[in-house]
Amino acid sequence: MKKIAEIISYLALILVVAAPALFYSEKITLQANKQLLLVATIVWFASALLWIGREKEG
């Protein structure tokens, strides 16, 4: 579970960087950019709470 949350949080961070790049290259609209950033931020906070600050397993 912890590993899955970690992967999801990294993917959300990638989306936080990719959304403005897509907007800058005019692939998405400003509204789509805002929506992607909002969703990615919420997903990152939700998934990061599950693994950041916890001891490594194994």
Tokens encoding 53? 């600050």
7 has a pLDDT exceeding 90: yes
Average pLDDT over residues 24-32: 97
Among residues 52, 50, 53, 39, the alpha carbon closest in space to that of 11 is found at 39
Burial of 31 (0-12, 13-18, 19+ CB in 10 A): exposed
Mean pLDDT computed over 13-27: 97
Mean pLDDT across the chain: 92
